[in-house]
Amino acid sequence: MKAIKYLFSILAIALVCSACVDYSDASEAVTAKVQLQLPDVLKGHMSLEGHTVSLQLNGVTYSAQTDAAGVATFSNIVPDVYNISTSWDITSSEYNRITGSSQVNDGATVSGSLNAQLINGSQPLLLTTTLSVKRDIVISKIYAAGSKDKNNKRYVAGQYIELYNQSNDSVDVAGLYIGLLETDVPQAYTLDNLKTNYADSVVLVKQVFRIPTDKHYMVAPGGTVLLVNSAVDHSLNSPMEHSLLKADFEAKDVKGKMLNNPEVPALQNVFNIYSGISYMNILTTGQGVVIFRTSADISQLKLTYKFGKTSGTQYGLLPKRYIIDGVDFIRHKATGTDVGEKRLYGDIDAGYISINATAGLSGEVVYRKVTSTTAAGQSILMDTNNSSNDFQVSTTIAPRTF
């Protein structure tokens, strides 16, 4: 009985003491300030005022406009880890006037981001931005997840990558390269590792494919290029899949395990770290992709082992200057998406996109949002150089639809 009395006494003391602990600092709202910094080429040519800065947390977005000094002020913000971003477009004439360029383009985008940034109101946060010319051809969809077939077995034959012509003119995609970023866990190089060893000049690829150059492959305005591993009707095998019979190009499986369509032209496999895999080795949890053009011999890319290693798998070092567009499609873990697993620099993709499933096989496609439609009926896809803004996830969207 005495022991029970002692126990009640201890519990009472503990309750009193816990009532004395101040937890208010952890959730008390603060005022956060974000200082916008223009790219050097725009300083003195563009106002800092009137640009939208966004904070994102758990799918909720908070927005504020910058003042004349370039400061966006957020009131009553709960301290937490946020993703911060901004982007806006400038016209072709503005771009050429400011930069002195005579390059034909569809304008440019100013964008910047800070991922996984702690906001506690203690000091202003600096948000730097970069300037990128708008692309004619962009990556519009990546279907990496795969699904389950009618027998509830893993089904990945229907994976694909889709490209889209944003411009007002037909574009010849002959000779265009498609690079698949390395997908090791843990990753072969973090962005900090790349900075240390290569001064932010390269990205790591595991495979590179090329659209053939045997003739012109013209894509009309608003047209798509569908790149697949197996150009057959996959809807017959899984309700979450689609027919890829009308794909434009197919990565042929030389071992014959993947069903190929002889009527669909072959993608050329020009670089590959896998000796036994000739098709696109797309990871179901997420697959970063870049597209690029160059006259260099990509089969002779410089190679590197994992950071700090001198043996094992070697990856291709793709010069960043070649890249036209890139999507940082990284895995979603049970604990959330780790932005430390980004493979692309902020000037290629300031954000990232992930599916919801941790292992894939969910039928989820990542695809660009539509921002507007022209008088001619052409969809204009969102391209702010930030996949966190530009992309969303669907289990129903079909190839060549938006």
DSSP string, 280-299: ----TT---EEEE--SS-GG
pLDDT at 95: 86
What is the Cα–Cα distance from 229 to 268, expressed in whole angstroms?
12
Q: CATH 2.60.40.10: which residues of the chain?
A: 28-133
What is the Cα–Cα distance from 219 to 137, expressed in whole angstroms?
9
The three-class DSSP label of residue 25 is: helix
Helix (H) or strand (E) holding 192: helix 191-198
Helices (H), 82-174: 92-99
Give the model confidence (pLDDT) of 317-343 as tens digits.
Answer: 999 999 999 999 999 999 989 999 999
Distances (CA, A) of 226 to 245, 267, 290, 392: 10, 11, 15, 19
Residue 370 is given by DSSP the state E
Whose CA is closest to 87, among 33, 138, 127?
A: 127
The three-class DSSP label of residue 339 is: helix
pLDDT at 23: 35
Domain 28-133 sits in CATH at 2.60.40.10
Contact (Cβ atoms closer than 8 angstroms) between residue 338 and residue 360? no
What is the Cα–Cα distance from 287 to 281, expressed in whole angstroms?
9
Other CB atoms within 10 Å distance of the CB of residue 359? 14
Residue 200 is given by DSSP the state T
What is the Cα–Cα distance from 204 to 64, expressed in whole angstroms?
36
Contacts of residue 63, defined as CB under 8 A and 6 or more positions apart, other chains included, come to 52, 53, 54, 55
pLDDT at 122: 80
Contacts of residue 337, defined as CB under 8 A and 6 or more positions apart, other chains included, come to 330, 331, 352, 354
User: In the structure encoding, which two tokens stand for residue 95, read together?
Assistant: 């771009």
pLDDT at 236: 98
Helix (H) or strand (E) holding 160: strand 160-165
The three-class DSSP label of residue 177 is: strand
pLDDT at 116: 87
CA Rg value for the chain: 24
304 φ/ψ angles, rounded to the nearest 5 degrees = -145, 145
What is the Cα–Cα distance from 99 to 347, expressed in whole angstroms?
18
User: In the structure encoding, which two tokens stand for residue 323, read together?
Assistant: 């890249």
What is the Cα–Cα distance from 159 to 23, expressed in whole angstroms?
49
Question: Which residues of the chain have a pLDDT value below 70?
Answer: 1-27, 102-105
What is the Cα–Cα distance from 74 to 171, expressed in whole angstroms?
43
Other CB atoms within 10 Å distance of the CB of residue 168? 12
pLDDT at 102: 64
Contacts of residue 114, defined as CB under 8 A and 6 or more positions apart, other chains included, come to 83, 84, 85, 125, 127
User: In the structure encoding, which two tokens stand for residue 61, read together?
Assistant: 């977005």
User: In the structure encoding, which two tokens stand for residue 141, read together?
Assistant: 């969809």
pLDDT at 100: 82
What is the Cα–Cα distance from 157 to 266, expressed in whole angstroms?
16
